[in-house]
Structure 1
């Protein structure tokens, strides 16, 4: 969406007092209506129902100035999630900063797939590679309280966000580890499910210069070898960390499903599948550690 920031109110033209309803109607014309409401909710620290019930509530000069600044930053393309500092994911509200990817609906599909593979009455062990904000690990831990989840990320700043989210969600069955994929796991450690939303965009991909991707951390987006380096590392080493019949589940690019299935098959996985998102695009693929694996699953 292209927004003309020239249509936003100048500081000198701000009339005080201005009400909630007036701010939404007069100031946010060039912003998506729902986004404008989210941002005002953030400024006022209220929920959506409050805006409806208190449309005549006057904004203080500070609130008005902060809302106008937020609108201008959004008009310049900055993601709403970074402006408000939070994003809804699955059934949670998570803290989000520019140090982490903004959780997306495709990743909710990965979580749904993982939850279907984890029995609620079993003490399963789950590994989340490249946890970022902790969205995957924390949602799984919340819905499978008997599971023990290990969440790994190379970025210390991302892990700080993930730890804050775990604390906010009162989740105590997630262990956070800083490291590069499997590098810092305990020797001989095995898991029932490995999940990952790794970088899978090729260097120089034109999408990186568009939309929210312009503001998100490159480390979490881009992979070498035409977007395949991280996926290949995760798949080829996974079986050394999986119990027999354990599952490896990955999110990938819109055009990577077929090659991902082929790589899973070559690495000895069985029961290989892909799942489509709401747009009918294959975005999640996985396989089970089988008896004919190239690595021994115990």
Structure 2
């Protein structure tokens, strides 16, 4: 695959001072913008080349952000410049910055990430927000604290954010991939969430005969024949977490069909999905018997989360 021509240029022309290196890196990243935005996943283009360049350079050099103000004219050694050049070249080829740094902020918490897990997206915070609102409402009218199930937890970002925000809730998260589950467990330890249970398995498999007030999931929803799936923007992330195969709605159908067996009466199913999938999911939820079916707009102004209540 041909990569953006900015990469060789960026490697040859990086200057020596910290502030100038960041400016040059930002210019290279700006040129590579079409490669770096996650169009196939339906994300809004929340891309700030300067902030990306600052994060890349400072992280690679092990410098605090205060260095931008305290010592912007710091002269970097040839070794330091080579390290920055290597990361910049990889980023311009589409490798997520989070994989280079090894972490990503989500819901104001820092999460470890690796190529074993999807990089948490800002759009997914809507799923957390809706789950918190629903859980709080259930708590006000009931006597018990909500029980929440997160299916396909990946890095654990959604489940850990919920458990961290509501220490009294009981949160269970399931992940099929053993490599991803290792990352999720480390993130749970990092944020000291004792009210989180992490299980390995396929969808509802590990929680047979258990019931929950809220079930959330951000399943794979990109069709295998999407031409952008193999592009630089997504090819570094785990394919099994991006696509269920030719039918982009396959996993949604399974979750909607199975969820009623695990939901309490009045419980909610919340699903993150692609920007053009809301209508199909609403129809499926209604046909399955869910009530109060509604879709919510994400940061891009398009439908990203759809929910329904089991009667």
Decide which structure has greater strand share: 1
2:158 to 120, 136, 154: 136
Partner of 1:79: 96
2:191 aligned residue (163, 169, 175): 169
For CA contacts below 8 A with separation 6 or more, give which structure has more relative contact order: 2
Distance of 1:14 and 1:199 partners within structure 2: 39
Q: Among 138, 156, 160, which residue is 2:178 paired with?
A: 156
Aligned to 2:147: 125
Answer whether contact 1:28 1:71 (CA < 8 A) is retained.
no
- Unpaired runs of 5+ residues, structure 1, are 291-298
Quote how far apart the aligned CAs of 1:2 are.
5.0
Structure 1 residues 141 and 57: CA distance shift in structure 2, 3 A: same
Counterpart in the other structure of 2:6:
4
What secondary structure is seen at the aligned counterpart in 2 of 1:66?
helix
Deviations 1:15-61 (A, max 9, x none): 8xx33223223455312222111111211334433322221334355
Correspondence 1:50-199 to 2 at 5 A: 50-119=67-136, 123-185=145-207, 187-199=208-220
Q: 1:255 to 1:128 in 2, by over 3 A?
A: same
CA separation in 2, counterparts of 1:116 and 1:229?
28
TM-score w.r.t. length of structure 1: 0.89
Query: Is residue 236 from structure 1 mapped to residue 234 from structure 2 by the alignment?
Result: no
Give, in angstroms, the shift of residue 142 of structure 1: 0.7
Unaligned 5+ segments in structure 2 are 30-48
Secondary structure of 1:223's counterpart equals: coil
Alignment check: 8 A CA contact 1:275 1:285 kept: yes
Q: 1:49 to 1:265 in 2, by over 3 A?
A: same
Distance 1:171 1:63, change over 3 A: farther
Cα distance in structure 2, aligned partners of 1:212 and 1:88:
19
TM-score (norm 2): 0.86
- 1:153 CA drift (Å): 0.8
Measured in 2, the distance between the counterparts of 1:252 and 1:22 equals: 40
> What is the root-mean-square deviation of aligned Cα atoms in Å?
2.0
